[in-house]
Amino acid sequence: MTRTVLKQFPAQRDDIGDLITRRPLPGPGIEQLDPFLFLNHHGPQTYPRNNQGLPFGPHPHRGFETVTFILQGELSHLDSGGHESIIGAGGVQWMTAGSGLVHAELSPQSFKREGGPLEILQLWVNLPARLKMTKPAYVGLQGADIPTITEPLAEVRLISGDYVSSAQRSERGPIDSLTGLCLMTVHLQPGARLSLPAPVGHNVFLYVVDGQASIAGNALRCHHLVKLSDTHDSVTVKATGSATLLYGHGAPLGEPVASYGPFVMNTREEIQQAFADYQAGKFGHIQG
């Protein structure tokens, strides 16, 4: 048996300057999907030559992780921990803000000069109280670093966690998540039928990036976050057209969430302390 669709939540349009932005989480009727906190879907769009690029200059974070999927284009990362990279299409940036980082996510000079297509997904994942002040970390993966699992009429690009293919081959993503998260992108061709892991007790994160698919006879809506039942250990997705999904699962933390802007903690007092620490320079500074 497969999990079934309980409800679908539309992404709300919230453009940032000229950057097309849709946000399914949080949104009307859904504040979080523990441990998943936030998703921004930027693009798809095509930037002209001599553009200004992305607007995400230096800003702080504490208490959670950001996972950024570059579907099209390029993204530059620079942070106060000394990490620096430019990740191209098909790649992923995984940043553990932990006790506090300042980072910038901008377009490389080459992209601003030449322009081109851009589409990016950024997911925020909560950390439990015991890990909120963990040491910050960053991993940048190019597309070639991410294993592609070929299924009949489908491809799974596995970022973290475990996946058993239809040929019963076990795969593990290159990122070792602090909280045991499984994250992947799924690309379906028309007629594909794919069973995805959904351990009992875990919340599933499923966002329809584009295309047409269904679960247990329920059509999935493009640019919607799909909330599923939790009584079975798999999800069977059928594609009625080409489709791209952001898919994952994780154990709910079951802890209070206090958030304000770039900080996600457990109490209001911890949020106030995060502001104080940032203003005191304890998150460090981006060099260069």
Q: Report pTM.
A: 0.97
Confidence bin at 2 (pLDDT 50/70/90): confident
* Nearest partner of 86 among 99, 96, 101, 76, judged by Cα: 76
pLDDT tens by residue, 114-167: 999 999 999 999 999 999 999 999 999 999 999 999 999 999 999 999 999 999
> How far is residue 163's CA from residue 183's CA, in Å, rounded to a whole number?
10
Cβ-based neighbours of 12, under 8 Å, separated by 6 or more:
22, 23, 24, 27, 28
What's the confidence (pLDDT) of residue 125?
Answer: 98
Confidence bin at 68 (pLDDT 50/70/90): very high
Q: Which H or E run contains 274?
A: helix 268-279
What's the confidence (pLDDT) of residue 99?
Answer: 98
CA dist list (Å): 40 to 19, 66, 67, 168, 235: 11, 11, 11, 34, 24
What's the confidence (pLDDT) of residue 36?
Answer: 98
What's the confidence (pLDDT) of residue 288?
Answer: 58
CA dist list (Å): 95 to 51, 62, 171, 220, 228: 26, 11, 23, 30, 27
> How far is residue 46's CA from residue 285's CA, in Å, rounded to a whole number?
32
Q: What is the mean pLDDT of residues 189-214?
A: 97
Which residues are annotated as part of the binding site? 59, 61, 103, 105
pLDDT higher than threshold 70 for residue 230? yes
pLDDT tens by residue, 85-118: 999 999 999 999 999 999 999 999 999 999 999 9
DSSP assignment of 6-71: EEEEEPEE--BTTB-EEEEESBTTBS-BTTEEEEEEEEEEEEPTT-----EEEEEEBSEEEEEEEE
Q: Which H or E run contains 272?
A: helix 268-279
Give percent of the chain with pLDDT exceeding 70: 100
pLDDT higher than threshold 90 for residue 274? yes
What's the confidence (pLDDT) of residue 190?
Answer: 98
Domains in the chain with CATH codes: 5-280 (2.60.120.10)
* Residue 31 in tokens: 């504040």
Neighbouring CB atoms inside 10 A of 159's CB total 23
Which residues are annotated as part of the binding site for Fe cation? 59, 61, 103, 105
